[in-house]
Amino acid sequence: MRVNNKIAVITGAASGQGASEAKLLASEGATVIVADIREELGLSVVAEINRMDESAEYVQLDVRDEKNWQDVISHVLNKHERIDILINNAAISGSQPDLLSTSEYDKIMEVNSKGVFLGMKTCLPIMKEQNIGSIVNISSHAAFVGQEYVHMGYSGSKAAVRTMTKSAAVQYAEFNVRVNSVHPGMMPPMLTSAGTARPEMRKIMVQEIPMKREGKVEEVAYAVLFLASDEASYITGAELVVDGGTIPYTPEALTLKQENRADWLERDPEIKCYLPGVPRATYMPFPFQIFHNSNAIFIAYEYAGATRDISLEALEPSQTDSWMGQSSAHWEGDTLVVDVTGLNDQTCFDRSGSHHSNQLHVVERYTLLDADHIQYEATIEDPVVFTRPWTIRMPLYRRIENDAQLMDFKCVEFVEELLYGEFRRDPLER
């Protein structure tokens, strides 16, 4: 039981994502307060939870109304004497036809931004006095990127939630109150969705998601559960993105990415046998070997004979950009942390046209799990191309055969197309 005996208030819990969060936290031992403006739906969720022999009750709440908030929280305190968890989930969509509507802007900000603020305003003093508490604010992937199909007020409201979360986290950390945000990507349409609920629009949206599907409300609920639980006791001010791996491109960079993907045979540096860059060299389907002593680290890659010298001393900024960049490293316990700068803009992250500028900054983390496995993590930051840093993780496996070695590599331009091009859905003309 990950939240056993905790009192959790969840707004917008009468349907969809909020209902999923309520059911999950109840199944993990919490007493859940289903707070929503829609009584019939809210009572239905409570009845379902109670049928599972879990504990829940419904309270009617309009998150825009400060007096309503005060009344609800007073009721919860009178009955349960504390509030351990607040999940500010209630929100409305911004996918209406008129993307410049002032009335729509006001409505979105009232629910999505002011509603979250009022929830924190009401609960933070209580949690401070308790000297413990966890608040999880539901923001959105839209807090990081512009979206052509939603009202700008929606992105603005979710960005406000993101930054309010960080401010509250700093202000209340010393009182053992944690405040974090969750940022879902494409999910099943809200009840208030219009444009984004259309099948043709959702088909377009899915194509930009690496996992090629929309998310499930349960997947967001598990992220919320983790942040609400004591498992996240040293995490505050964090942004947990649940978006299927969507890379946070700026609108201009996304356009170029789409062009690269459409013309990848001409634009992908791998096709032309160029060096792969960092971090791509690590996850290409070719082995590499790490050599190290107490003073230096050297990595030799099979693909294109690429190499890296990694200094264990701080380096001056590189005077020139290069394919593999400049790497310096230090140890954090059992984790080797490698700082990579000085990369040129000629490499791509993959065959889908994912690109970067020469402002790319990569921080790699190599953690030895056992004799044959390393956990690899790379955080990617590029203010020219991406709206925020993003991270990839994967295990690396040692080749354990007795004769394992790097082979000679000969790159022939377009060899893959020559060998397998006939199997394309639409073969290229030759």
Instruction: Going residue by residue through the chain, which has 430 residues, state the pLDDT in tens, using 9 for 90 and above.
Output: 899 999 999 999 999 999 999 999 999 999 999 999 999 999 999 999 999 999 999 999 999 999 999 999 999 999 999 999 999 999 998 766 678 889 999 999 999 999 999 999 999 999 999 999 999 999 998 888 767 677 889 999 999 999 999 999 999 999 999 999 999 988 776 554 555 556 666 666 676 667 677 789 999 999 999 999 999 999 999 999 898 877 888 888 988 988 988 888 788 888 888 999 999 999 999 999 999 988 889 999 999 999 999 999 888 988 899 999 999 999 999 999 999 999 999 999 998 889 999 999 999 999 999 999 999 999 999 999 998 888 888 899 998 888 888 988 887 766 666 666 676 667 666 5
Residue 376 appears among annotated catalytic residues? no
Is-contact 373 397, C-beta < 8 A?
yes
The segment(s) of the chain belonging to CATH 2.40.128 are 267-421
In sequence order, the β-bridge partners of residue 370 are 373
> Which of 324, 334, 333 minimizes the C-alpha distance to 362?
324
Quickly tell me which residue has 């966890």 as its tokens: 134
Please pick, among 58, 105, 154, 303, the residue that the annotation labels catalytic. 154
The CB-based long-range contact list for 209-212 (8 Å cut-off, 24+ gap) reads 209/185, 209/243, 209/244, 209/245, 209/246, 210/244, 210/245, 210/246, 210/247, 210/352, 211/244, 211/245
Every domain of the chain with CATH number 3.40.50.720 lies at: 7-246
| CA pair distance 35, 24, nearest whole angstrom | 15
> With contact defined as beta carbons under 8 Å apart, do 351 and 270 qualify?
yes
- The yes/no answer on whether domain 267-421 falls in CATH 2.50.20 is no
- The CATH architecture assigned to 7-246 reads 3-Layer(aba) Sandwich (3.40)
